[in-house]
Amino acid sequence: MTKKLFSKLLPLVIISLTISACSSVTIRPEGGDKNRGEPSYLDSKPYYFWGLVGEHEVDVNAACEGLAVEQMQTVTTVSDFLLGIVTLYIYAPRTAKIWCGE
């Protein structure tokens, strides 16, 4: 009986984890609402061993080519989360996004 219950609950647990997988940290130097449009810069950065190994910096001046930085964001996307799950978080990427002014 427990195998039947487990086999029915496992897909629900996986779907719940996948839906709740996204997380983000957003920085807006001038404040205001989040910019939800297409970012000017988008790159995935590798992290290893549950995020304990791997330190990355993004040069916002180079990414924006001298324009003002409107917003910076680091995100764990669904694909980042799934890659982490598949590799048991030995490899756990994070996505960096930057929005530049005009």
Give me the DSSP letters along 54-77. Answer: ------HHHHHTTSPEEEEEEEE-
**pLDDT (average), residues 72-100:** 88
List, in order, residues 6 or more apart from 34 with CB less than 8 Å away.
Answer: 26, 28, 71
Mean pLDDT of 66-77: 88
Task: Dump strand ranges (E) for 11-52.
Answer: 23-27, 41-45
Q: What percent of the chain has pLDDT over 70?
A: 92
The predicted pLDDT at position 90 comes to 92
Structure tokens that stand for 12 in this block? 């629900």
Compute the average pLDDT of residues 17-43.
78
